[in-house]
A and B are shown apart, each in its own frame.
Chain A
Amino acid sequence: MKRIVKALTAVVLTGAVVYILYSSFRSRDNSSEDDMVIYSGIGSKIASLDPGNIGDTSSSAVASQIFECLYDYHYLKRPYQLIPKLAEDMPKVDEDRIVYTIKIKKGVYFTDDFCFDGRRRELIAEDFVYSWKRLANIKYLSRNWWIFDGRIKGLDDFREYTKSCKSMDEVDYSRPVEGLKVLDKYTLRITLTKPWPQILYLLAHLPTAPVAKEAVNYYGKSIINHPIGTGPFVLKKWNRGSYIEMVLNEGFRDEFYPSQGQEMDIKNGYLADAGKKLPFADRLFFMLIEEDPPMWFLFLQGKLDASAIPKDNFQQAIQEGQNLSEELVEKGVELKTYRNPSTYWIGFNMEDPVLGKNKPLRQAIACCIDKKHYIDLFTNNRAEMAQGFIPPLMKSYDPEITERGFHCDIERGKKLVEQAKQLNKGMLPVLTLAMPSTDVVARQYGQFYKKSFKEIGLELEIDYMDWPTYLEKMHRKDLQMFQSGWIADYPDAENFLQLFYGKNVSPGPNSFNYINAEFDKLYEEASVMPDTPERTKLYRQAQEMIIEDCPAVFLLHGVAFTLHHSWVENYKPNTFQQGLSKFRRINVEKRRAYKY
């Protein structure tokens, strides 16, 4: 018997040792170390690489390395400034601000592909018209029709026409649209239904990037797997649910690193590559890593070039609130903090019979939340307290707003609850707050809210649900209160104002179902105005109106903390620009010398 035990033990141990040695030996064999490769982690699955149907940030971040838009944000200048990208210059706009004439760059080519029959395919003005009509095609089921909805003359009629087609293939794209005209091979004219100053921001937004008709026709539904753009990188491999590999687009046009920036950019080394041809990297890897621990370990091992800081590792990474820990400084890690164009809130459904007609009740709730404690507890102080919806990053942000709005004031809250009871003609019912998640963190939020409500004498129930259920209930106006937020698509507070516009009630973006004729009038006036001090005044006025009516308790504006290794150069954060990999440079020697 002893011999059996010995033999078995020997077999098992030998097997385990051989397995471990083999695996460890092979895992250190990293042949890609000599290339200039950028390794990035992405936290959620890529749903599509077809720009017309992209609706999530991860997919946008990846696809924007391949596709380009007419305009883009300057990489270094702040406040954010638009510059031409596929456009030759900024557009010529008529006096009424209705007609935009845009010249596109000559000599820009789509990446080579079978669908072009072996010929180089130049980008022409017609490609934009086709791509935008494609967004309008209802059979395409784009998530991004909202961009052009009601904006361009005749495009809504084109959408109506597509409803009569039986399938996507039946749609006749040669059908004219009054507001989209090709004047010559390289000139495009857009005619709007009314002034729309935000159009240029949207023409820098990925879903408006041009796609080639031949590619769409050739690949049909599988176009999502075959992104063919004009950008600096080409898709090499998409191992779905795992990683994406891109290589340099050999035919990429001459584009150069910016030569101008802010004063501090020279000191920070962001202008060292001024005037050099882009991109610098040979290859890009986007690794799908949905869990925090492996993302953090891979960053510390030097496998990933940059990382956010997971909540559980914050103490390890940051000391005294803002500074990088000594351990990470020794490793050569650098910290970048920057404001996000985001606002988070507890929203009220204004159609709810209890909350909708009871302003004191809503204001009481606004008084019971200790935002400072909330930010400390849930974000490790990676946020700023919000009193209104316009984040500090926006030009129209009102710095004096911190003095106004609703601050944590339990006594005032209690008084407002008494008023609310009178208005309700009796006791207040148990209120329900919907949380768009069922995980542990959501439950921690729930506990915090319950405790806060209790302090002013309100009873609260939390309804935890998955995201799709939450979305469905929100669209059906079935939620009484909800935790939510918004990250701006472009640096104009109009993007936040439209969330309260009466015509946008659920299932539109106005999830509060807030209707106020006076606010709508202000919105309609301000949203067509160019960026002037008068418009800023109107924006702030509209915000004041919302604060007073209180369809939401504004909690915080996000502040991002990003870490990157010292071998990643030109790492200047940019919240609006996409396709940033072309600016980054990897110091291969430094990376090789890294020890963890």
Chain B
Amino acid sequence: MLSYIIRRSLYIVPIIFGVMLVTFLLFNIVRGDITDQIAGKAASAETRAEIRKEFGLDKPLFFNDEYSPFTTAFWDSQFFNHLKSAITFDFGYSYNDRELIWDKIKRGAGPSLALTVPMLIGTIVISISLSLVAAYFRGKWFDYAIVLLSITGMSLPFLSFILFGQYFLAFKWGLFPVYFWPDLSVWQYTALPALIGIAAGIGGNLRFYRTVMLDELGNDYVRTAYAKGLSPQRVLFKHVLKNAMIPIVTQIILAIPFLFLGSLLLERFFGIPGLGYLMIGAIGSRDDKIINAMVYISAILFVIFNLITDICYAMVDPRVKFD
């Protein structure tokens, strides 16, 4: 197992390098010059040149042809600086407000996680519970109701959940704050968006888990368990749920890196100063340095949690072996 982990860990290097290369090409070659955005509308050509210098945009893209052993290194280029900033986690300053990007990320992680963690937990608990019951009552009215609910939930745009929740639950009925407010705790201003996130996410999850449960319920071991005289609770929670763990674990663990990214729309509509809001702002204002940093961190988290998923397979299913 240890050798498997080491081997998989080594795979991370080329994957991350690939991600860095793709983001670099996208932001620096496809999207073009960012200087006008930083300089403002009335800036002179010389100010633009100075900005290029300040942010290292005046350097060659990949390799420095004009290197000399005493002054300029061969790797003194935009791409190698891009790699260096990623490896050292020193992402530099934002193009737009010249604040340290790392400070922004540290500040935004808490509010984002305060929103997305309850959303994930709530969605999983409710979806798995209801899917077990729906699978048990397959073909009955309860099952039909669950299927209908899932499809309705999946069909409605996410924005409509937000607008409905904000208007009725917060504004009309006053059950929640409409928006972030300085005297509210993080749990208060994330309560409604978390509930909205759960409501909007249940549909797809419920349908997926129901299918997983139904697959398991059709297996021989379930019939054997009933034949042995086990109660439905015992069959569902001890046997079916355990055997359905592989897809469940996969989905849960792979969702964890995305928790860090926050929720783009919910954070913007509810004024949650998280990383989703940071990201959507950076995309809108073309602050490529922030987008790069977020993509890099997300990629690292994603490959790490992928590895964790594989390890978890062995823990929940003894048939899985590492070669």
Contact = CB atoms under 8 A, between A and B. Distances in A.
Interface of A: 1, 3-5, 8, 12, 16, 19-20, 22-24, 26-32, 45-48, 55, 138-139, 141-143, 145-146, 149, 163, 221, 224-225, 239-243, 245, 285, 287-291, 293-294, 297-298, 300-301, 303, 466-469, 471-472, 475, 507-509
Contacts of A289: 179, 271
B171 A143 contact: no
Contacts of B188: 23, 26-27
Given A4-B233, A224-B98, A293-B163, A23 B177 contact: yes
B75 interface: no
Interface in B155-176: 163, 166-167, 170-171, 174-176
B39 A143 contact: yes
B166 A242 contact: no
B251 interface: no
Nearest to B184: A27
Nearest to B288: A468
B91 interface: no
Contacts of B40: 55, 143
Given A20-B176, A241-B273, 19 more contacts: A8-B133, A27-B174, A27-B184, A31-B183, A139-B54, A141-B54, A143-B43, A241-B104, A242-B180, A243-B182, A285-B182, A287-B180, A294-B270, A297-B171, A297-B178, A301-B178, A468-B285, A472-B32, A507-B44
B273 A507 contact: no
A596 to B, nearest CB: 9
Interface of B: 31-34, 36-48, 50-51, 54, 93, 96-99, 104, 107-108, 125-126, 129, 133, 136, 163, 166-167, 170-171, 174-185, 187-188, 191-192, 195, 232-233, 236, 268-271, 273, 277-278, 281, 284-286
Contacts of B37: 467-468, 471-472
A245 B42 contact: no
Given A48-B98, A289-B179, A471 B50 contact: no
A45 B184 CA distance: 21
A132 to B, nearest CB: 16
A241 B286 contact: no
Given A221-B98, A239-B273, A240-B273, A507 B178 contact: no
B108 A241 contact: yes
Contact of A303 (B45, B181, B268, B273): B181
Contacts, number: 171
Nearest to A7: B129
Contacts of A16: 195
Contacts of A466: 284, 286
A447 B38 CA distance: 31
28 contacts: A1-B133, A16-B195, A19-B191, A20-B191, A23-B191, A27-B181, A27-B188, A29-B183, A55-B40, A138-B47, A141-B47, A141-B51, A143-B39, A146-B42, A241-B281, A242-B271, A285-B182, A287-B271, A289-B179, A291-B269, A293-B163, A294-B178, A294-B269, A297-B170, A297-B178, A468-B37, A469-B31, A472-B33
Contacts of A221: 93, 98
Across chains A and B, which 9 residue pairs bring their CB atoms closest together, nearest first? A143-B40, A242-B273, A468-B37, A468-B286, A146-B42, A23-B191, A27-B177, A297-B171, A294-B179
B78 to A, nearest CB: 18
Contacts of A242: 180, 271, 273
A436 B174 CA distance: 38
Given A1-B232, A55-B40, A23 B46 contact: no
B54 A297 contact: no
Given A143-B43, A472-B33, A507-B45, A245 B182 contact: yes
Contacts of B192: 23
Given A224-B98, A471-B37, A507-B43, A297 B166 contact: yes
